[in-house]
């Protein structure tokens, strides 16, 4: 069975998970799909995997827009992996419904917990906590590979019903304001005008003006600009200064950029 994986990733968690699964499956093509290409997104494999991070308890906007252009062979086995920091909420049921409107059947959906990159809400935890999550994720991905190889259909995973309902409501309510949530970004005096923040932003939301980044209010809240800044000069709100940045330790900036 041939497999293709489409992956959206800002700070590397989803890309790492997708690479792990691709290695487990073999005969797998992995495409990092951080920006929306022109025209349809064609898949020619027997199986398709969708890897994405959960943003504000739901499916990121770029992933939803990608689904609208997805062209999948009839009868292909489609599965998804929602990477989150402990709560996938109703992101996978929402993804299944979105695909259903395209007449694409989601055969299985899995939730995997990895360190959080959302620094304003606490961040990734200690190195020991991060390592524990990486170890648990490797075991989980091996289990997912067995399900995919067997072509099994399973109910998509979701969080506790009432809590997931509440968090999904938060996702819907914040959706219209997410693009302008970049008003809380700023850079401090350690900025060297290297431009990495602009290059790594999947939304093309950052311009450099007189060597300083300016956010253009089409943000996706992936925080890639904050975490990949080599000087930790990008701040968000009042409590990120001086706090350690995070990206998956096995993912490089060049890999995220596709260089």
Domain end call among 114, 134, 168: 168
Token pair of 205 as six digits: 């939301």
Does residue 101 sit in the same domain as residue 134? yes
Strands (DSSP E) along 10-95, which ranges?
28-32, 41-42, 47-53, 70-71, 77-84
Domain CATH number, residue 198: 3.30.70.20
pLDDT single digits (tens) 140-198? 999 999 999 999 999 999 887 766 677 678 778 888 899 999 999 999 999 999 999 99
Domain check: are 22 and 102 in the same one? yes
Count CB atoms within 10 A of the CB of residue 33. Answer: 20
Residue that is last in its domain, among 125, 149, 168: 168
pTM, two decimal places: 0.95
Please check whether residues 200 and 147 belong to one and the same domain.
no
Please tell me whether residues 37 and 104 are part of one structural domain.
Answer: yes
Tell me, what CATH number does 117's domain have? Answer: 3.40.50.360
- Poorest-pLDDT segment among 37-51, 102-116, 154-168, 226-240: 154-168
Rounded Cα distance, 99 and 117, in Å: 27
Per-residue pLDDT, 228: 98
Where residue 259 falls among pLDDT bands split at 50, 70, 90?
low
Same domain, 228 and 249: yes
For residues 242-255, give the mean pLDDT.
96
Residues 102 and 193 in one domain: no
Per DSSP, helices labelled H in 45-195 are: 61-67, 91-101, 127-150, 161-174
Same domain, yes or no, for 153 and 183? no
- Name the token pair of 88: 């996938």
Structure tokens at 120: 């304003």
Judgement on whether residues 159 and 76 belong to the same structural domain of the protein? yes
Query: Tokens for 255?
Result: 């890999």
Query: Percentage of the chain surpassing pLDDT 70?
Result: 98
- Domain of residue 28 covers 3-168
Predicted pLDDT at 163:
67
Domain boundary among 135, 168, 201: 168
- Number of compact structural domains in the chain: 2
């Amino acid at each position: 069975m041939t497999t293709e994986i489409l992956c959206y990733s800002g700070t590397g968690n989803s890309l790492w998970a997708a690479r792990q699964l691709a290695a487990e499956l073999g005969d797998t093509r992995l495409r990092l799909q951080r920006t929306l290409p022109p025209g349809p997104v064609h898949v020619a494999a027997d199986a398709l995997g969708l890897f994405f991070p959960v943003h504000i308890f739901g499916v990121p906007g770029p992933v939803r827009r990608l689904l609208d252009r997805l062209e999948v062979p009839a009868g292909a086995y489609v599965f998804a992996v929602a990477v989150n920091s402990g709560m996938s909420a109703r992101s996978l049921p929402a993804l299944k419904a979105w695909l259903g409107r395209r007449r694409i059947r989601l055969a299985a959906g899995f939730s995997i917990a990895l360190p959080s990159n959302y620094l304003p809400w606490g961040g990734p935890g200690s190195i020991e906590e991060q390592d524990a999550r990486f170890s648990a994720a490797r075991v989980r991905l091996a289990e997912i590979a067995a399900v995919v190889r067997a072509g099994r259909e399973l109910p998509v995973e979701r969080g506790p019903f009432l809590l997931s309902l509440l968090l999904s409501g938060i996702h819907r309510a914040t959706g219209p304001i997410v693009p302008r949530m970049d008003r809380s970004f700023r850079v401090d005096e350690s900025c060297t005008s290297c431009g990495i923040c602009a290059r790594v932003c999947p939304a093309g939301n950052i311009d450099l003006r007189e060597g300083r980044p300016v956010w253009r209010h089409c943000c996706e809240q992936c925080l890639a600009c904050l975490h990949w800044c080599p000087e930790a000069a990008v701040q968000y709100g009042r409590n990120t200064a001086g706090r350690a940045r995070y990206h998956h330790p096995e993912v490089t900036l060049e890999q995220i950029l596709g260089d």
